[in-house]
A and B are shown apart, each in its own frame.
Chain A
Amino acid sequence: MNTEKNIKTLIVKKPLKLDCGKTIKDFPIAYETYGSLNSKKDNAILVFHALTGDQFVTGINPVTKKEGWWSYAVGPDKAIDTNKYFVICSNVIGGCMGSYGPSDKDPDQKVFGTNFPVITINDMVNAQYNLLDHFGIDKLFSITGGSMGGMQVLQFISNFPDKSKTVIPIATTSSHSAQNIAFNELGRQAITADSNWKDGNYTSNDTNPGKGLAVARMAAHITYLSKKGLQEKFGRKLQEREDLKFGFDADFQIESYLRYQGSVFVDRFDANSYLYITRAMDYFDLAKQFNGNLSEAFISTKAKFFIISFTSDWLYPTQENKDIVIALNSIGADVGFVEIESDKGHDSFLLDVPDFLSALKNFLDKSYEENKL
């Protein structure tokens, strides 16, 4: 455990063969837990984080000193009630919050940079699976996550069909669309176009491609919001000025807001990790792993699925979530689905959206009660 940063780490001794063909071993998985595991070990929920998330789901993140990314949903008496459930979340491999990633050093003590192997969603969940052994959990009560977290949920239950009783993919897709890939490529190009990126070797001379990473974050941030949400929050409001300045400073509040989002992101995220994780998302195509038949991915699981989408999410729209429902229905799987009304865009799953939080809570609590009978 890295006590300096309050990061708990599991060193995975077992070799893991990655999709790219390389094998890694003795690598760290940084994780955090909330609540307590009961004696029957049947109350564990594995939460998967999204692109820029980390293991610090709720409460104050000890590294960034900010609220955890899913503080609205996870905590005592919240939708994922930590009085009742034992919540585990780990940083994905390729990430930059303590799990094995491009800012780690290779066996020759040289920082990996772009020499880190390209990882996939499949590699991420295979690595995280080791946490079950670590905690001695035979079967999870639930697995959940939004966006890239949802992709990991789908991949996890496909890889380990009898390891979770319930499965809750949120605002996600079973296959990254051309539009999704296009936005990720825009972000990667912004990073690699920054002269400080230096083919990924920037850490050795302590100058980060912060400008490129900030632009990547700004572009991505727009995709997380809806047009209506942006219009209502910012409209054409001006930033601390009476009138337009006929220049290229941030005249509009939305410009200032995006610049701020970009700048705070650079402080907490590694540019190479951004490249690796967006690549993993782009490579995600669960149906392709089963010769184009998505249903086959779930054929051997008896888990109970609950899929949630949001009306104003145009990044992972309702139809892509419904495609997963359709694939499950076509094999008679136990699946529920709800589309939540929200004008907060893709980010809805991270925000205070009461209909979403109550649906999540009701599904979990009722399933848990039923389970006990």
Chain B
Amino acid sequence: MKNEFQVIADLIEKDKKVLDVGCADGTLMKFLKDNKNINIRGLEISKEKVQECIAKGLTVIEGNAEKDLKQFPDKSFDYVVLSQTLQAFLNPELVLDELLRVGKKAIVTVPNFGYWKVRFHLLFKGTMPITKTLPDEWYNTPNLHMCTIKDFFHFVKSKDIKIFKSLALNNLNKSIINESNLGVKNLFADLGIFLIEK
């Protein structure tokens, strides 16, 4: 399983109710269900991925987070997870507001556009960066609103969203992000993981 998923799983206690937004083939859901006895639902836009989730015995709703999160009542889940998808929405701010409305807490992970490899790629090659977390070409990427760890950190603060935990991930290395090391983490982490609440 992806290292990211392990970190997300570590943030969630046992026996909780979780919604995985953009749950893809259900790998994270399956892990949480099997290992933490978590009551988990997924929301997924792709019909193929929905079928894969059903084949794993997972409860999944085919739908679009930008339209379909509104059907869930306020604070109806202990955690809402959004893994590396925020940048792909037309309106990430609206989605973030919805995650925090539906979930008592939200776990959001963002691919870091400030990662040094990304910066080097653009600086020296002069073409749009392609990395492990950003594998697509500019013309076929689903990502509409790329941001850096620093951008997301400031954005969340500006919206009066409480950050419980912010973690920087670089391959297998996990470290804590705070105001004072933000610049460094923004350079050396390729993924940011945020546990937030409003």
Contacts and interface: CB of A to CB of B under 8 A. Distances in A.
Interface of A: 304, 325-326, 329-330, 332, 334-341, 355, 358-359, 362-363, 366-367, 369-370
Nearest to A330: B73
A56 B54 CA distance: 29
A338 B51 contact: yes
B31 to A, nearest CB: 16
Given A329-B73, A359-B54, 15 more contacts: A325-B61, A329-B61, A329-B72, A330-B71, A334-B59, A336-B41, A336-B58, A337-B61, A338-B51, A339-B47, A339-B62, A340-B47, A358-B55, A366-B56, A367-B57
A326 B73 contact: no
B92 interface: no
Contact of A332 (B55, B57, B58, B73): B73
B50 A326 contact: no
Q: Which DSSP category, helix, strand, loop or mixed, fits chain B's interface? A: mixed
A362 B59 contact: no
B61 A335 contact: yes
A329 B57 contact: no
Interface residues of B, number: 18
Interface of B: 41, 47, 50-51, 54-63, 71-73, 76
B54 A336 contact: yes
19 contacts: A325-B61, A326-B71, A329-B71, A329-B72, A332-B73, A334-B41, A337-B61, A338-B47, A338-B60, A339-B47, A339-B62, A355-B47, A355-B51, A358-B51, A362-B54, A362-B55, A363-B54, A366-B56, A366-B57
Nearest to B70: A326
A304 B59 contact: yes
Nearest to B57: A366
A325 B50 CA distance: 15
B57 A338 contact: no
